[in-house]
Chains A and B, each alone.
Chain A
Protein backbone atom coordinates (compact mmCIF):
# COMPACT_ATOMS: atom_id res chain seq x y z
CA UNK A 1 0.00 0.00 0.00
CA UNK A 2 3.06 2.25 0.22
CA UNK A 3 2.30 5.67 -1.28
CA UNK A 4 -0.74 4.35 -3.17
CA UNK A 5 -3.13 6.63 -1.29
CA UNK A 6 -2.94 10.24 -0.17
CA UNK A 7 -4.78 12.61 2.11
CA UNK A 8 -5.99 15.46 -0.06
CA UNK A 9 -8.43 17.37 2.13
CA UNK A 10 -8.83 18.25 5.79
CA UNK A 11 -11.61 20.04 7.64
CA UNK A 12 -12.97 20.66 11.08
CA UNK A 13 -15.56 22.57 13.06
CA UNK A 14 -15.15 24.87 16.01
CA UNK A 15 -14.05 22.96 19.13
CA UNK A 16 -16.15 23.83 22.20
CA UNK A 17 -17.60 22.65 25.48
CA UNK A 18 -21.13 22.79 24.13
CA UNK A 19 -21.73 22.93 20.39
CA UNK A 20 -25.46 23.51 20.84
CA UNK A 21 -26.20 21.44 17.76
CA UNK A 22 -26.46 17.85 16.62
CA UNK A 23 -23.58 15.47 16.08
CA UNK A 24 -24.76 15.11 12.46
CA UNK A 25 -24.42 18.86 12.06
CA UNK A 26 -20.82 18.70 13.31
CA UNK A 27 -20.00 15.74 11.05
CA UNK A 28 -21.34 17.21 7.85
CA UNK A 29 -19.74 20.62 8.47
CA UNK A 30 -16.31 19.03 9.06
CA UNK A 31 -16.71 16.80 6.01
CA UNK A 32 -17.95 19.65 3.79
CA UNK A 33 -14.93 21.70 4.83
CA UNK A 34 -12.57 18.81 4.02
CA UNK A 35 -14.18 18.26 0.60
CA UNK A 36 -13.89 21.94 -0.18
CA UNK A 37 -10.26 22.02 1.01
CA UNK A 38 -9.50 19.22 -1.47
CA UNK A 39 -11.15 21.09 -4.33
CA UNK A 40 -13.69 18.31 -4.73
CA UNK A 41 -17.49 18.17 -4.83
CA UNK A 42 -19.59 16.05 -2.45
CA UNK A 43 -20.60 13.89 -5.42
CA UNK A 44 -16.91 12.93 -5.82
CA UNK A 45 -17.03 11.12 -2.46
CA UNK A 46 -18.00 7.47 -2.75
CA UNK A 47 -16.74 6.02 0.54
CA UNK A 48 -17.20 6.72 4.26
CA UNK A 49 -14.98 5.23 6.99
CA UNK A 50 -16.13 6.06 10.52
CA UNK A 51 -15.32 5.24 14.11
CA UNK A 52 -17.56 2.39 15.26
CA UNK A 53 -18.24 4.63 18.28
CA UNK A 54 -19.41 7.54 16.14
CA UNK A 55 -23.17 7.95 16.34
CA UNK A 56 -23.51 9.28 12.79
CA UNK A 57 -24.79 6.75 10.32
CA UNK A 58 -23.26 6.23 6.85
CA UNK A 59 -26.56 6.57 5.02
CA UNK A 60 -27.71 9.70 6.86
CA UNK A 61 -24.33 11.28 6.14
CA UNK A 62 -24.73 10.41 2.46
CA UNK A 63 -28.23 11.89 2.53
CA UNK A 64 -26.91 15.19 3.94
CA UNK A 65 -23.89 15.41 1.69
CA UNK A 66 -25.62 14.35 -1.52
CA UNK A 67 -23.60 11.20 -2.06
CA UNK A 68 -25.93 9.34 -4.38
CA UNK A 69 -23.78 6.21 -4.87
CA UNK A 70 -21.92 5.09 -1.76
CA UNK A 71 -19.52 2.35 -2.90
CA UNK A 72 -17.61 1.77 0.33
CA UNK A 73 -18.55 1.98 4.01
CA UNK A 74 -16.55 0.75 6.96
CA UNK A 75 -15.98 1.22 10.66
CA UNK A 76 -12.87 1.17 12.84
CA UNK A 77 -13.44 -0.22 16.37
CA UNK A 78 -11.77 0.46 19.73
CA UNK A 79 -12.52 4.15 20.11
CA UNK A 80 -9.40 6.27 20.08
CA UNK A 81 -7.22 3.20 19.45
CA UNK A 82 -8.70 1.93 16.22
CA UNK A 83 -10.63 5.03 15.28
CA UNK A 84 -8.57 7.96 14.09
CA UNK A 85 -5.71 6.35 12.15
CA UNK A 86 -7.66 3.14 11.56
CA UNK A 87 -10.49 4.90 9.73
CA UNK A 88 -7.96 6.68 7.49
CA UNK A 89 -6.21 3.35 6.79
CA UNK A 90 -9.54 1.73 5.88
CA UNK A 91 -10.03 4.55 3.39
CA UNK A 92 -6.50 4.13 2.07
CA UNK A 93 -6.98 0.39 1.59
CA UNK A 94 -10.26 1.02 -0.21
CA UNK A 95 -8.74 3.44 -2.72
CA UNK A 96 -5.57 1.34 -3.11
CA UNK A 97 -7.65 -1.68 -4.05
CA UNK A 98 -10.07 0.20 -6.27
CA UNK A 99 -13.08 -0.30 -4.01
CA UNK A 100 -13.65 3.45 -3.93
CA UNK A 101 -12.22 6.61 -5.47
CA UNK A 102 -12.55 9.13 -2.63
CA UNK A 103 -13.18 8.17 0.98
CA UNK A 104 -13.93 10.45 3.90
CA UNK A 105 -12.76 9.50 7.40
CA UNK A 106 -14.14 11.61 10.21
CA UNK A 107 -15.06 11.91 13.88
CA UNK A 108 -17.85 14.11 15.22
CA UNK A 109 -19.26 14.10 18.72
CA UNK A 110 -20.81 16.12 21.49
CA UNK A 111 -18.55 14.42 24.00
CA UNK A 112 -18.26 17.30 26.47
CA UNK A 113 -21.85 18.52 26.51
CA UNK A 114 -23.22 14.99 26.44
CA UNK A 115 -25.76 15.89 23.73
CA UNK A 116 -25.67 12.49 22.05
CA UNK A 117 -22.47 11.00 23.48
CA UNK A 118 -21.85 10.00 27.08
CA UNK A 119 -18.89 11.88 28.59
CA UNK A 120 -15.86 9.57 28.69
CA UNK A 121 -14.74 11.09 31.98
CA UNK A 122 -17.94 10.03 33.73
CA UNK A 123 -19.05 6.54 34.67
CA UNK A 124 -22.13 5.12 33.02
CA UNK A 125 -24.54 4.33 35.86
CA UNK A 126 -25.75 0.78 35.35
CA UNK A 127 -27.53 -1.74 37.57
CA UNK A 128 -24.81 -4.38 37.34
CA UNK A 129 -21.28 -4.84 36.05
CA UNK A 130 -21.20 -7.44 33.25
CA UNK A 131 -18.40 -8.94 31.16
CA UNK A 132 -14.88 -7.68 31.94
CA UNK A 133 -16.44 -4.78 33.89
CA UNK A 134 -17.46 -7.29 36.57
CA UNK A 135 -13.83 -7.45 37.65
CA UNK A 136 -13.37 -3.65 37.77
CA UNK A 137 -16.48 -1.61 38.51
CA UNK A 138 -17.56 -3.26 41.80
CA UNK A 139 -14.23 -2.01 43.18
CA UNK A 140 -14.82 1.53 41.95
CA UNK A 141 -12.62 1.40 38.84
CA UNK A 142 -14.58 3.06 36.05
CA UNK A 143 -12.81 5.64 33.94
CA UNK A 144 -9.85 5.28 31.58
CA UNK A 145 -7.92 7.77 33.74
CA UNK A 146 -8.24 5.47 36.75
CA UNK A 147 -6.96 2.44 34.83
CA UNK A 148 -4.09 4.43 33.36
CA UNK A 149 -3.13 5.52 36.87
CA UNK A 150 -2.38 1.88 37.72
CA UNK A 151 0.01 1.53 34.78
CA UNK A 152 1.58 4.91 35.45
CA UNK A 153 2.27 3.96 39.08
CA UNK A 154 3.83 0.68 38.00
CA UNK A 155 6.04 2.51 35.48
CA UNK A 156 7.20 4.90 38.21
CA UNK A 157 7.98 1.96 40.47
CA UNK A 158 9.93 -0.04 37.87
CA UNK A 159 11.85 2.76 36.19
CA UNK A 160 11.94 5.76 38.50
CA UNK A 161 9.63 7.76 36.25
CA UNK A 162 8.33 10.94 37.92
CA UNK A 163 5.20 13.03 37.64
CA UNK A 164 7.35 15.82 36.15
CA UNK A 165 8.12 13.52 33.21
CA UNK A 166 4.40 13.16 32.54
CA UNK A 167 4.11 16.93 32.93
CA UNK A 168 6.65 17.59 30.17
CA UNK A 169 4.18 16.17 27.65
CA UNK A 170 1.32 18.31 28.95
CA UNK A 171 3.49 21.43 28.90
CA UNK A 172 4.62 20.83 25.29
CA UNK A 173 1.08 20.32 24.00
CA UNK A 174 -0.17 23.36 25.90
CA UNK A 175 2.65 25.53 24.54
CA UNK A 176 1.71 24.54 20.99
CA UNK A 177 -1.94 25.46 21.58
CA UNK A 178 -1.09 29.06 22.46
CA UNK A 179 -0.82 30.18 18.82
CA UNK A 180 -3.72 28.05 17.53
CA UNK A 181 -6.93 30.10 17.27
CA UNK A 182 -9.05 26.93 17.26
CA UNK A 183 -7.45 25.49 20.41
CA UNK A 184 -9.69 25.24 23.46
CA UNK A 185 -6.70 26.02 25.69
CA UNK A 186 -5.39 29.04 23.81
CA UNK A 187 -4.64 31.83 26.26
CA UNK A 188 -4.08 29.42 29.15
CA UNK A 189 -0.36 28.60 29.17
CA UNK A 190 0.91 25.87 31.46
CA UNK A 191 4.20 25.52 33.33
CA UNK A 192 5.59 22.41 34.92
CA UNK A 193 4.85 24.05 38.29
CA UNK A 194 1.21 24.50 37.25
CA UNK A 195 1.14 20.84 36.30
CA UNK A 196 2.61 19.80 39.65
CA UNK A 197 0.07 21.91 41.52
CA UNK A 198 -2.95 20.70 39.57
CA UNK A 199 -5.38 18.57 41.49
CA UNK A 200 -5.05 14.82 41.66
CA UNK A 201 -7.62 12.82 39.65
CA UNK A 202 -6.37 9.31 40.35
CA UNK A 203 -2.93 9.38 41.95
CA UNK A 204 -0.47 9.65 40.19
CA UNK A 205 -2.59 11.20 37.42
CA UNK A 206 -3.19 14.91 37.84
CA UNK A 207 -5.77 17.03 36.05
CA UNK A 208 -3.25 18.16 33.43
CA UNK A 209 -2.25 14.57 32.64
CA UNK A 210 -5.74 14.02 31.23
CA UNK A 211 -7.02 15.10 27.82
CA UNK A 212 -9.79 17.58 27.28
CA UNK A 213 -13.43 16.72 26.71
CA UNK A 214 -14.76 18.47 23.63
CA UNK A 215 -17.67 18.93 21.24
CA UNK A 216 -16.61 19.10 17.60
CA UNK A 217 -15.81 17.33 14.39
CA UNK A 218 -12.81 16.74 12.12
CA UNK A 219 -12.53 14.99 8.76
CA UNK A 220 -10.01 14.03 6.09
CA UNK A 221 -10.40 12.96 2.45
CA UNK A 222 -8.36 10.06 1.06
CA UNK A 223 -7.90 9.30 -2.63
CA UNK A 224 -5.45 7.51 -4.90
CA UNK A 225 -1.97 8.94 -5.41
CA UNK A 226 -2.66 9.44 -9.13
CA UNK A 227 -5.83 11.43 -8.56
CA UNK A 228 -4.23 13.33 -5.69
CA UNK A 229 -1.67 14.91 -7.99
CA UNK A 230 -4.42 16.74 -9.93
CA UNK A 231 -6.18 18.22 -6.91
CA UNK A 232 -6.01 21.60 -5.20
CA UNK A 233 -3.62 20.81 -2.33
CA UNK A 234 -0.16 19.30 -2.25
CA UNK A 235 -0.82 15.57 -1.58
CA UNK A 236 0.21 14.00 1.71
CA UNK A 237 1.02 10.37 0.97
CA UNK A 238 0.27 7.46 3.29
CA UNK A 239 3.68 5.85 3.34
CA UNK A 240 2.73 3.02 5.71
CA UNK A 241 0.05 1.97 8.15
CA UNK A 242 -0.32 -0.73 10.79
CA UNK A 243 -2.76 -2.17 13.29
CA UNK A 244 -1.70 -3.77 16.59
CA UNK A 245 -3.24 -5.60 19.54
CA UNK A 246 -2.19 -8.33 21.95
CA UNK A 247 -3.88 -10.97 24.07
CA UNK A 248 -3.39 -8.88 27.23
CA UNK A 249 -6.05 -6.26 26.55
CA UNK A 250 -8.89 -8.07 28.26
CA UNK A 251 -9.42 -5.17 30.62
CA UNK A 252 -9.59 -1.87 28.84
CA UNK A 253 -6.70 0.58 29.22
CA UNK A 254 -4.86 -1.63 31.73
CA UNK A 255 -1.29 -2.21 30.57
CA UNK A 256 1.20 -4.87 31.65
CA UNK A 257 4.61 -3.31 31.28
CA UNK A 258 6.67 -6.48 31.74
CA UNK A 259 5.07 -8.15 28.73
CA UNK A 260 7.44 -8.45 25.75
CA UNK A 261 4.84 -7.01 23.37
CA UNK A 262 2.25 -4.28 23.57
CA UNK A 263 -0.37 -3.23 21.08
CA UNK A 264 1.77 -0.24 20.13
CA UNK A 265 4.96 -2.28 19.71
CA UNK A 266 3.13 -4.79 17.51
CA UNK A 267 1.95 -1.97 15.24
CA UNK A 268 5.34 -0.20 15.30
CA UNK A 269 7.25 -3.24 14.07
CA UNK A 270 5.15 -3.46 10.91
CA UNK A 271 4.91 0.29 10.50
CA UNK A 272 8.61 1.07 10.25
CA UNK A 273 9.32 -2.05 8.13
CA UNK A 274 6.58 -1.09 5.66
CA UNK A 275 7.67 2.55 5.47
CA UNK A 276 11.34 1.64 5.09
CA UNK A 277 12.47 4.55 7.24
CA UNK A 278 14.16 4.96 10.62
CA UNK A 279 12.97 6.86 13.69
CA UNK A 280 15.47 9.64 13.06
CA UNK A 281 13.77 10.37 9.70
CA UNK A 282 10.61 11.59 11.44
CA UNK A 283 10.30 15.38 11.48
CA UNK A 284 7.20 15.72 13.65
CA UNK A 285 5.12 13.28 15.65
CA UNK A 286 1.41 13.20 16.43
CA UNK A 287 0.93 10.74 19.25
CA UNK A 288 -2.53 10.12 20.57
CA UNK A 289 -2.51 12.05 23.83
CA UNK A 290 -5.36 10.77 25.99
CA UNK A 291 -3.14 10.55 29.10
CA UNK A 292 0.44 11.75 29.41
CA UNK A 293 1.84 8.47 30.88
CA UNK A 294 0.57 6.56 27.85
CA UNK A 295 2.29 9.03 25.50
CA UNK A 296 5.53 8.51 27.42
CA UNK A 297 5.09 4.73 27.16
CA UNK A 298 4.20 5.02 23.46
CA UNK A 299 7.59 6.59 22.73
CA UNK A 300 9.15 3.50 24.34
CA UNK A 301 6.91 1.02 22.55
CA UNK A 302 7.34 2.75 19.19
CA UNK A 303 11.09 2.22 19.60
CA UNK A 304 12.25 5.81 20.07
CA UNK A 305 13.89 4.72 23.32
CA UNK A 306 14.11 1.62 25.50
CA UNK A 307 11.38 0.58 27.92
CA UNK A 308 11.88 2.64 31.06
CA UNK A 309 13.72 5.51 29.35
CA UNK A 310 10.57 7.40 28.39
CA UNK A 311 10.81 9.87 31.28
CA UNK A 312 14.18 11.37 30.37
CA UNK A 313 13.34 11.01 26.66
CA UNK A 314 10.31 13.32 26.81
CA UNK A 315 11.81 15.81 29.27
CA UNK A 316 14.82 17.24 27.41
CA UNK A 317 12.88 19.72 25.28
CA UNK A 318 12.81 17.67 22.07
CA UNK A 319 9.01 17.71 21.95
CA UNK A 320 8.75 21.51 21.93
CA UNK A 321 8.35 23.48 18.74
CA UNK A 322 10.34 25.31 17.31
CA UNK A 323 13.65 24.19 18.79
CA UNK A 324 12.97 20.57 19.66
CA UNK A 325 14.12 17.83 17.31
CA UNK A 326 10.83 15.89 17.52
CA UNK A 327 7.93 18.32 17.95
CA UNK A 328 4.84 16.64 19.42
CA UNK A 329 1.24 17.52 18.53
CA UNK A 330 2.06 20.96 17.16
CA UNK A 331 -1.53 22.25 17.32
CA UNK A 332 -2.02 21.22 20.96
CA UNK A 333 -3.35 17.68 20.67
CA UNK A 334 -6.11 16.01 22.65
CA UNK A 335 -4.59 17.64 25.72
CA UNK A 336 -4.87 21.27 24.62
CA UNK A 337 -6.36 21.78 21.14
CA UNK A 338 -9.53 19.75 21.51
CA UNK A 339 -10.49 16.15 22.07
CA UNK A 340 -11.84 15.06 18.71
CA UNK A 341 -10.71 11.54 19.53
CA UNK A 342 -7.36 12.02 17.76
CA UNK A 343 -8.79 13.08 14.40
CA UNK A 344 -7.59 16.64 14.96
CA UNK A 345 -4.01 15.38 15.22
CA UNK A 346 -4.31 13.90 11.71
CA UNK A 347 -5.61 17.22 10.38
CA UNK A 348 -2.56 18.92 11.92
CA UNK A 349 -0.10 16.35 10.54
CA UNK A 350 -1.43 17.08 7.06
CA UNK A 351 -1.12 20.85 7.58
CA UNK A 352 2.51 20.34 8.66
CA UNK A 353 3.43 18.33 5.59
CA UNK A 354 1.74 20.86 3.31
CA UNK A 355 3.64 23.70 5.00
CA UNK A 356 0.37 25.27 6.21
CA UNK A 357 0.73 24.83 9.98
CA UNK A 358 0.72 27.72 12.41
CA UNK A 359 3.66 26.24 14.31
CA UNK A 360 5.32 25.13 11.09
CA UNK A 361 8.19 22.67 11.46
CA UNK A 362 10.85 23.78 9.01
CA UNK A 363 11.10 21.48 5.97
CA UNK A 364 8.77 18.90 7.50
CA UNK A 365 8.79 15.91 5.18
CA UNK A 366 7.79 12.91 7.27
CA UNK A 367 5.29 12.65 10.14
CA UNK A 368 4.30 9.82 12.44
CA UNK A 369 0.68 9.62 13.59
CA UNK A 370 -0.63 7.17 16.18
CA UNK A 371 -3.96 6.30 17.72
CA UNK A 372 -4.48 5.55 21.39
CA UNK A 373 -1.97 3.48 23.34
CA UNK A 374 -3.22 0.84 25.82
CA UNK A 375 -6.10 -0.18 23.59
CA UNK A 376 -5.89 -2.06 20.29
CA UNK A 377 -4.24 0.61 18.21
CA UNK A 378 -3.33 1.90 14.75
CA UNK A 379 -0.49 4.03 13.40
CA UNK A 380 0.67 5.54 10.13
CA UNK A 381 3.59 7.39 8.59
CA UNK A 382 2.82 10.25 6.22
CA UNK A 383 5.12 12.12 3.88
CA UNK A 384 4.77 15.01 1.48
Chain B
Protein backbone atom coordinates (compact mmCIF):
# COMPACT_ATOMS: atom_id res chain seq x y z
CA UNK B 1 0.00 0.00 0.00
CA UNK B 2 2.58 2.53 1.16
CA UNK B 3 4.98 1.17 -1.46
CA UNK B 4 2.71 2.32 -4.27
CA UNK B 5 1.30 5.57 -2.83
CA UNK B 6 4.59 7.32 -2.03
CA UNK B 7 8.15 7.24 -3.27
CA UNK B 8 10.22 4.83 -1.16
CA UNK B 9 11.63 6.15 2.10
CA UNK B 10 15.40 6.07 2.54
CA UNK B 11 16.93 3.10 4.35
CA UNK B 12 19.87 4.70 6.23
CA UNK B 13 22.97 2.67 5.52
CA UNK B 14 25.77 1.80 7.90
CA UNK B 15 27.78 4.93 8.58
CA UNK B 16 25.31 7.35 6.99
CA UNK B 17 22.78 7.47 9.82
CA UNK B 18 23.87 10.96 10.88
CA UNK B 19 22.93 12.42 7.51
CA UNK B 20 19.37 11.14 7.88
CA UNK B 21 19.11 12.04 11.58
CA UNK B 22 20.22 15.54 10.61
CA UNK B 23 17.44 15.82 8.03
CA UNK B 24 14.89 14.80 10.66
CA UNK B 25 16.04 17.49 13.10
CA UNK B 26 16.42 20.15 10.38
CA UNK B 27 20.18 20.21 9.89
CA UNK B 28 22.07 19.40 6.71
CA UNK B 29 25.02 17.27 7.81
CA UNK B 30 27.87 16.42 5.47
CA UNK B 31 30.67 13.95 6.03
CA UNK B 32 34.19 15.43 6.17
CA UNK B 33 37.57 13.76 6.54
CA UNK B 34 38.88 14.28 10.05
CA UNK B 35 42.47 14.21 8.80
CA UNK B 36 42.60 16.28 5.57
CA UNK B 37 39.27 18.09 5.80
CA UNK B 38 37.90 17.03 2.40
CA UNK B 39 34.10 16.78 2.22
CA UNK B 40 32.68 13.73 0.51
CA UNK B 41 29.38 12.62 -0.96
CA UNK B 42 27.97 9.98 -1.00
CA UNK B 43 28.87 8.96 2.55
CA UNK B 44 31.59 6.30 2.60
CA UNK B 45 34.02 4.83 5.13
CA UNK B 46 37.31 6.04 3.63
CA UNK B 47 38.60 9.39 2.43
CA UNK B 48 39.62 9.00 -1.24
CA UNK B 49 42.20 11.80 -0.88
CA UNK B 50 44.21 10.63 2.16
CA UNK B 51 42.70 7.19 2.91
CA UNK B 52 41.87 8.11 6.48
CA UNK B 53 38.95 6.22 7.98
CA UNK B 54 38.28 8.93 10.55
CA UNK B 55 35.47 11.27 9.58
CA UNK B 56 33.21 13.83 11.20
CA UNK B 57 29.77 15.15 10.43
CA UNK B 58 29.61 18.90 9.88
CA UNK B 59 26.49 21.02 9.79
CA UNK B 60 26.79 22.94 6.51
CA UNK B 61 25.08 26.17 5.52
CA UNK B 62 22.47 24.50 3.34
CA UNK B 63 23.16 27.04 0.62
CA UNK B 64 24.01 26.08 -2.90
CA UNK B 65 23.14 26.45 -6.56
CA UNK B 66 21.17 24.38 -9.04
CA UNK B 67 23.68 22.22 -10.96
CA UNK B 68 21.12 20.58 -13.22
CA UNK B 69 17.47 19.52 -13.23
CA UNK B 70 14.83 17.59 -15.12
CA UNK B 71 11.08 17.85 -15.26
CA UNK B 72 9.69 14.33 -15.20
CA UNK B 73 6.51 13.94 -17.24
CA UNK B 74 6.43 10.17 -17.81
CA UNK B 75 5.64 8.32 -14.57
CA UNK B 76 7.64 5.13 -14.08
CA UNK B 77 6.65 4.46 -10.46
CA UNK B 78 3.04 4.02 -9.29
CA UNK B 79 3.43 6.94 -6.87
CA UNK B 80 4.55 9.20 -9.73
CA UNK B 81 1.24 8.89 -11.57
CA UNK B 82 -0.50 11.60 -9.55
CA UNK B 83 2.57 13.81 -9.30
CA UNK B 84 3.78 14.37 -12.86
CA UNK B 85 5.07 16.78 -13.92
CA UNK B 86 7.55 17.03 -11.04
CA UNK B 87 11.12 18.22 -10.85
CA UNK B 88 14.26 16.43 -9.76
CA UNK B 89 17.34 18.61 -9.37
CA UNK B 90 21.00 18.37 -8.51
CA UNK B 91 22.13 21.02 -6.05
CA UNK B 92 25.82 21.88 -5.64
CA UNK B 93 26.56 23.01 -2.09
CA UNK B 94 28.57 26.18 -1.45
CA UNK B 95 31.04 24.36 0.84
CA UNK B 96 32.58 22.13 -1.86
CA UNK B 97 31.85 21.74 -5.61
CA UNK B 98 32.03 17.94 -5.21
CA UNK B 99 28.95 18.00 -2.96
CA UNK B 100 26.16 17.56 -5.51
CA UNK B 101 22.91 16.23 -4.02
CA UNK B 102 19.90 14.86 -5.84
CA UNK B 103 16.80 16.59 -4.52
CA UNK B 104 13.53 18.31 -5.37
CA UNK B 105 13.09 22.07 -5.66
CA UNK B 106 10.11 23.53 -3.80
CA UNK B 107 8.63 27.01 -3.74
CA UNK B 108 9.38 27.53 -7.44
CA UNK B 109 7.40 26.74 -10.58
CA UNK B 110 8.98 24.07 -12.74
CA UNK B 111 9.19 26.48 -15.67
CA UNK B 112 11.10 29.01 -13.57
CA UNK B 113 13.92 26.63 -12.59
CA UNK B 114 17.32 27.61 -13.98
CA UNK B 115 20.82 26.14 -13.67
CA UNK B 116 22.88 28.38 -11.40
CA UNK B 117 19.87 29.52 -9.38
CA UNK B 118 20.83 30.11 -5.71
CA UNK B 119 18.91 27.86 -3.32
CA UNK B 120 18.75 26.97 0.36
CA UNK B 121 17.81 23.78 2.12
CA UNK B 122 14.37 23.15 3.57
CA UNK B 123 13.31 19.93 5.29
CA UNK B 124 10.08 18.43 4.00
CA UNK B 125 8.03 15.60 5.52
CA UNK B 126 8.20 12.46 3.41
CA UNK B 127 6.25 10.20 5.73
CA UNK B 128 5.74 10.26 9.50
CA UNK B 129 9.18 10.46 11.12
CA UNK B 130 11.09 10.92 7.85
CA UNK B 131 12.10 14.31 6.46
CA UNK B 132 14.02 14.87 3.23
CA UNK B 133 16.43 17.69 2.36
CA UNK B 134 14.83 19.70 -0.43
CA UNK B 135 15.74 23.17 -1.66
CA UNK B 136 13.92 26.46 -2.30
CA UNK B 137 15.02 29.66 -4.03
CA UNK B 138 17.35 31.64 -1.73
B30-44 Cβ-contact flags toward A at 8 Å (1 or 0): 000000000000100
Chain A residue nearest to B43 (CB atoms) is: A135
A143 to B72, CA, bound (A): 10
Query: Among the listed B10, B16, B74, which residue makes an inter-chain contact with A202, where contact means beta carbons less than 8 Å apart?
Result: B74
**A133 CB contacts on chain B under 8 angstroms:** 8
Does the CB pair A141–B88 fall under 8 Å? yes
Residues of B close to A138: CB separation below 8 A: 7-10, 126, 132
* Cβ contact within 8 Å between B73 and A200: yes
Residue of B nearest to A137 (CB): B8
Partner-contacting stretch, out of A7-15, A123-131, A221-229, A301-309: A123-131
Contact A128 B74 (CB under 8 A): no
Minimum CB–CB distance from A305 to chain B (whole Å) comes to 22
Rounded to whole angstroms, the CA-CA distance of A83 and B79 in the bound complex is 31
Binds B, one of A151-159, A317-325, A345-353: A151-159
With both chains docked as a complex, state the minimum distance between the C-beta of A162 and any C-beta of chain B, in angstroms.
15
A199: chain B residues at CB < 8 Å are: 73-74
Known A146-B70, A150-B70, A154-B67; judge A127-B102 contact (CB<8 A).
Answer: no
Q: Tell me the residues in window 51-82 of chain B with beta carbons closer than 8 Å to chain A beta carbons.
A: 67-74, 76-80
A130 touches B7 (CB 8 A): no
22 residue pairs bridging A and B, Cβ less than 8 Å apart: A127-B8, A132-B42, A133-B8, A135-B42, A138-B8, A138-B10, A139-B134, A140-B83, A141-B88, A146-B72, A150-B69, A150-B90, A153-B69, A153-B115, A200-B74, A201-B73, A202-B73, A247-B48, A250-B42, A251-B42, A251-B102, A256-B100
Residues of B with Cβ closer than 8 Å to A? Answer: 2-4, 7-13, 16, 42, 48, 67-74, 76-80, 83, 86, 88, 90, 100-104, 115, 126, 132, 134
